[in-house]
Amino acid sequence: ATWLGVMGGGQLGRMFAHAAQQMGFKVAVLEPALDCPASHAADQLHSADYTDVDALAKLAAQCVAVTTEFENVSAKSLAFLAERTFVAPSSSCVSIAQDRMAEKRFFIECATTSGVFPASHKEINSDADVDAVSDDLLPGILKTVRMGYDGKGQVRVKTRAELHNAYANMNGVACVLEKMLPLAYEISVLAARGADGRAVVYPIAENVHRDGILFTTTVPGPNISKESAEKAQAATLAVIEQLGYVGVLCIEFFVLTDGSLVVNEMAPRPHNSGHYTIDACVTSQFAQQARAMARMPLGDVRQHSPAAMLNILGDIWFEGKSDEAREPAWDKVLALPGANLHLYGKDTARRARKMGHITFVAATLEEAQANLRKACDILGIAP
Ligand code: ATP
Ligand code: MG
Ligand code: MG
C-alpha cells in the first residue's frame, strides 16, 4: 500500500483521509489527541506531539508524502520530515503563512505580478511602536502575528488609547495593526499546484463571517464581477507560482466598497471555504491535496453545481442558554433538497466549536441559498 501522512487530526485531516482512501491510499495521522476527528478515518494514528522526533521519523519512513492540515504545525517538524520524505506544502511555504508579517511582506513582493496588496499595516512590538503609528491606520485591527485563527487574537481599536490598551493585553507577543477597511464582501480563492508546476484555480467563493468565524460560503460568489473574479484568480495563481508551492492553498481577499481587491491572508492547506468542493466540484480540495502529494496529475476543478455551505457550530446543540446538549434535527435538514451533511465526529459540542457543515447543491444558486436558509430556520440559527 502507498501511505500518505498528515500532521494534525482535526476535521481537515479526517476529510483528507476519506478522499485519499477513495483513491486507494492508506492514511497515517500524527496528532496527540487519541479521540481526534481523524482518528476513526485514519488507517493509523500516531499519537504523539507534533515535534516528537521518533514519531516524525516513523511517519516519514511509512509515507511517500506528508502534508499538514493546520498552519501552526512546527516548521521545524516539516523540515525534519522533508529530510526523509516528500513534504507538501514545504516548510518554507508554511512558515510564511504562519507569520502575518512574513505573509504581508511576501504579498508585497508578489504585487508586481499579482496586482494586489495587503491592507496598510504596521508591526507593533513595543509601546513606542504604538506611539509611532500613523493616524491613518486608525480605526484598525490589532492582530497577533502568530497563532491567530477564527478571529482569535484580534482586537478592533478606534483610537490610539484603545490601541495602547489592546496591546497591553497581548502579553508582549508580536502584533500587527491593520487599517480597518470598508469591506463590501469577502471572497476566497482556492488553488492547487502540482509537483510538475501545473496550477489550477477553483471558482470564487464568497464568505460571510460571524464573530470572526466563517458562517457561510456561496459559490459562485454572487456579488463579484467577472473582471474582479479573474483578477483574484490571477493573483492567486501568481502567489502560488512565486511560492513554488505544491498542494492546496487558499487565499482570502477583501472586496472593498469601491470595488478594489485587497489580499488578506493565506492558508497553506485545504480551507473551510473550500468544503463545498466535496459536493459541488469534479475534484474536491482533499482529493486534490492527495493528488499533489502523490505527485499525480491534478484533477478537474470544474464546479458542476451551484453551492451554498453552512458551517455547523456547537452552539446549536444548546437551546437558548441551556447547558444541556441536545442533538439537532438532522432528519429535518436532510429532508431538504440537495443537502449534504458532514459531521466531524466530535463527541462534545461546545459553543463556537466547528462540529460540521452542510453543503446545499441545486440547479440554481438561489435554490441552494433558499435551502440553506430553511436549514438555519430548522436548526435555530439566525439566517
Ligand atoms: P481565519 O479563521 O480565516 O484564519 P483569522 O483569525 O486569521 O481568520 P483574519 O482573516 O485576519 O483572521 O480576520 C478575520 C475577519 O476579520 C476577516 O475575515 C474580516 O471579516 C475581518 N477583518 C480582518 N482584517 C480586517 C481589516 N483590515 N479590515 C476590515 N475587516 C477585517
Ligand atoms: Mg487566518
Ligand atoms: Mg481569515
Q: Ligand 1: which atom is nearest the Cα of residue 143?
A: 11
Check residue 230 and give its pLDDT.
98
Q: Report the 3 state secondary structure along 80-142.
A: HHHCCCEECCCHHHHHHHHCHHHHHHHHHHHHHHHCCEECCEEEECCHHHHHHCCHHHCCEEE
Q: What is the mean pLDDT of each run of 10 residues along the chain (383 residues)?
A: 98 98 98 96 98 98 97 94 98 97 98 98 97 97 94 94 97 97 98 98 98 96 96 98 98 98 98 98 98 98 98 91 87 98 95 96 98 97 88
Under 8 Å between Cβ of 117 and 104: no
Tell me how many domains the chain contains: 3
Sign of CA dihedral 262, 268, 272, 276: positive
For residue 280, being part of any structural domain is answered with yes
Question: Cell 506531539 appears where?
Answer: 49
Question: 40, 70, 87 — which closes off a domain?
Answer: 87
Question: Is the CB of 263 inside a 6 Å radius of any atom of ligand 1?
Answer: no
Tell whether 254 and 369 lie within a shared domain.
Answer: yes
Distances (CA, A) of 166 to 20, 101, 151, 211, 360: 44, 19, 15, 18, 40
Q: Write the residue with the smallest CA distance to atom 4 of ligand 1.
A: 149
Tell whether 254 and 314 lie within a shared domain.
Answer: yes
**Interval between CA 256 and ligand 1 midpoint (Å):** 14
Under 8 Å between Cβ of 116 and 71: no
Question: Is the CB of 180 inside a 6 Å radius of any atom of ligand 1?
Answer: yes
Q: Which region holds residue 193: left if phi is over 0, alpha if psi is between -120 and 50, else beta?
A: beta
**Which pairing describes strands 3-7 and 26-30: parallel, antiparallel, or unpaired?**
parallel
**Interval between CA 330 and ligand 1 midpoint (Å):** 31
For residue 96, being part of any structural domain is answered with no
**Interval between CA 155 and ligand 1 midpoint (Å):** 11
Question: Is the CB of 71 inside a 6 Å radius of any atom of ligand 1?
Answer: no
Tell whether 228 and 370 lie within a shared domain.
Answer: yes
Q: Which residues contact 263 (CB under 8 A, 6 or more apart)?
A: 107, 114, 116, 117, 118, 235, 239, 251, 252, 253
Tell whether 214 and 356 lie within a shared domain.
Answer: yes
Question: Is the CB of 149 inside a 6 Å radius of any atom of ligand 1?
Answer: yes
For residue 274, being part of any structural domain is answered with yes
What is the CATH classification number for the domain harbouring 255? 3.30.470.20
Tell whether 284 and 202 lie within a shared domain.
Answer: yes
Question: Is the CB of 181 inside a 6 Å radius of any atom of ligand 1?
Answer: yes
For residue 315, being part of any structural domain is answered with yes
Tell whether 144 and 265 lie within a shared domain.
Answer: no
Tell whether 288 and 193 lie within a shared domain.
Answer: yes
Question: Is the CB of 103 inside a 6 Å radius of any atom of ligand 1?
Answer: no
Phi first, then psi: give them for residue 235, nearest 5 degrees: -65, -40
What is the CATH classification number for the domain harbouring 137? 3.30.1490.20
Site to probe by mutation for ligand 1, drawn from 70, 187, 209 as the one with most ligand atoms within 8 Å of Cβ, is 209
For residue 234, being part of any structural domain is answered with yes
Question: 179, 204, 222 — which closes off a domain?
Answer: 179
Q: Which domain holds residue 32?
A: 3-87
Phi first, then psi: give them for residue 302, nearest 5 degrees: -55, 135
Neighbours of ion ligand 2 (CB under 5 A): 265
Under 8 Å between Cβ of 64 and 4: yes
Distance CA 75, CA 73 (A): 6
Tell whether 156 and 214 lie within a shared domain.
Answer: no
Is the full-model pTM beyond 0.95?
yes
Tell whether 294 and 310 lie within a shared domain.
Answer: yes
Distance CA 136, CA 155 (A): 17
For residue 109, being part of any structural domain is answered with no
Question: Is the CB of 138 inside a 6 Å radius of any atom of ligand 1?
Answer: no
Question: 145, 179, 213 — which closes off a domain?
Answer: 179
Tell whether 356 and 212 lie within a shared domain.
Answer: yes
**Interval between CA 266 and ligand 3 midpoint (Å):** 8
In this predicted complex, what is the ipTM?
A: 0.99
Question: Is the CB of 178 inside a 6 Å radius of any atom of ligand 1?
Answer: yes
Annotated binding site for ATP: 100, 143, 148-154, 178-181, 186, 209, 264-265
Tell whether 276 and 147 lie within a shared domain.
Answer: no
Question: Cell 492540515 appears where?
Answer: 69
Distance CA 168, CA 199 (A): 43
